[in-house]
Structure 1
Amino acid sequence: MNWVRTILFRTIFYLLSVPIVLTTPIAVLFGQRVLIAHADRWSRLHRILMRLILGITPRVEGAVPPGQFLFVAKHEAMYETLELQLLLGSPAMVLKRELMRIPLWGWAAVKYGALVVDREASSKALRTMMREGAAVRATGRSVIVYAEGTRVPHGEHPPLRSGFAGLYKALDLPVVPIALDSGRLLPKRGAKRPGVVTIRIGTPIPPGLPRREVETRVHAAINELNTPAG
């Protein structure tokens, strides 16, 4: 039955996503605010189908603090990349440069407000990040990054990517760590299972801390719920 639900969800979600993606250029013409609202419709579609077809719902522990922050979240499934956009008020996303090569999607992501990071963390990349980070901060919009760089199986604790420290310095914003356990129900391979995804919003960490300290604190906080399943 879980496989039936999984196939049904994928079929319906991606079919309904096509018109949303294809009408994105029209939304871009009306400015970023309209584009963000357009993207939020996609996230709401995802949330509704998750609940109705897969039987997956979120449980939020803690509250989203008011103000501008750098949100740093655990990454175990595609689920959080859409759910957190709704929960956190549509923050600007930090994306790998490789994703910008996806036709139409990469272009739309930049218009949405994506902050592109380079995994090489060279001096040139760092200068670019500092400049783009300052521009994003000036808009008053929060930023979200999945600092492990890619989704990882539930129970694994990879180190934060080196680019996180540069982003933290460039934005000079308090960090809100977010722990979650979506990988228990939504493994990268295999059938999805019904249940509750716990999203835990941590206590803000101030800007300006030494690199090792902020990385240690963030890494521990986003892994609070990340114990092996079973």
Structure 2
Amino acid sequence: MLPLIRGLLFQLGLVGSILVFGLLVPPLIWPFSRPVRYRVLTLWGRFNVWWLRVSCGIDYRVHGREHIDPSRPHVVLSKHQSAWETVAFVAIFPMQTWVLKRELMRIPLFGWTLSMLDPVPIDREGGRQALENLVAEGKQRLDQGRWMIVFPEGTRVAPGEHGRYRQGGAMLAVRTGYPVLPVALNSGSFWPKKGLRRYPGTVEVVIGAPIETAGRKPVEVLSEAESWIETTMTEIEPRPATLSTEKPDGQ
């Protein structure tokens, strides 16, 4: 029961913050520059990282920060287990934007505000044309100095699972010449894909060494990133057995 109470408490703060940052903030910051809008709007993510720690006891630890080079944009290829990383990455990586499902842009308030941060929405049924659009728009963002966050599995996968890695992010990196930064994490052990239960603990985020892309094929870059991510996942998983089912009250 306690994980559910924690989750409901966090959800109250999450919904309240969406109302504030989705309804009240955008009209006030619209006239300002992109960097100013970014700093203000990403306070939403930072607030919810803090609120998650206070309400649910979920913190995080980053390994490999030395691989983050703020002087040069990167294409981040990350494991995707939870909504946690969509909230927390603004506190870990430099100024960024995201490759995401087009449907997210249609969510009232959330999607409208998200559009102010210039994400790259993709039609997952769009085939080759969707990939070309991803490369063209992604290059524009990278050339502006923004990091691109890509979840190559395309959707959240449960702890212990391995989804199919898609080539879009690797193709973007190869075609533009920017390096790939692989990321492994175990957020799904604490913020599961489904349900409202939240389990206290520390999310381990492991950042690998940059993968240079010049002169390489997307399939080679993707294979190297996938191999590193999945190998690293075996070191931070499996999650403890006590996290695989609901914990007894008071634990």
Q: Which moved more, 1:150-159 or 1:216-225?
A: 216-225
| Cα distance change of structure 1 residues 222 and 121 upon mapping to structure 2, 3 Å threshold | farther
How far the C-alpha of 1:121 sits from its partner, in A, is: 5.0
Q: Distance in 1 between matches of 2:207 and 2:101?
A: 24
- For the pair 1:52 / 2:49, whether they are aligned, the reply is no
CA distance, structure 1, for counterparts of residue 203 and residue 49 of structure 2: 12
Quick one: distance in 1 between partners of 2:186 and 2:212?
25
Residue deviations 1:172-230, cap 9 Å, x none? 21000011000111112342110000000101001132233212111122231253323
Give the 3-state SS of the residue equivalent to 2:205 in structure 1.
strand
Change (3 A) 1:25 1:170: farther
Please state if 1:210 is matched with 2:212: no
Secondary structure, counterpart of 1:75 in structure 2:
coil
Q: Any idea what SS the aligned residue of 1:225 has?
A: helix
Of 167, 182, 187, which residue of structure 1 is paired with 2:187?
182
Structure 1 position 53, deviation (Å): 1.0
Aligned-residue RMSD, C-alpha: 1.9
The whole-number CA distance in structure 2 between the counterparts of 1:217 and 1:88 is 21
* 1:29 and 2:36 aligned: no
Moved more, 197-206 or 120-129: 120-129
Q: Which moved more, 1:127-136 or 1:101-110?
A: 101-110
What TM-score do the two structures reach when normalised by structure 2? 0.84
Deviation at 1:120, TM superposition (A): 3.1
Q: What is the SS of the residue equivalent to 1:44?
A: helix
Farther-moved stretch of structure 1 (110-119 vs 85-94): 110-119
Which residue of structure 2 aligns with residue 10 of structure 1?
11
Question: 207-216 vs 66-75, which deviates more?
Answer: 207-216
Count the aligned residue pairs. Answer: 230
> Alignment identity in percent?
33
Where in structure 2 are the equivalents of 1:149-160 lying within 5 Å?
A: 149-160=154-165
Aligned 8 A contact 1:121 1:162 in 2 = no
For residues 85 and 127 of structure 2, the distance between their equivalents in structure 1, rounded to whole angstroms, comes to 29
Q: Distance in 2 between matches of 1:167 and 1:134?
A: 7
Task: Mark the runs of 5 or more structure 1 residues left unpaired by the alignment.
Answer: none
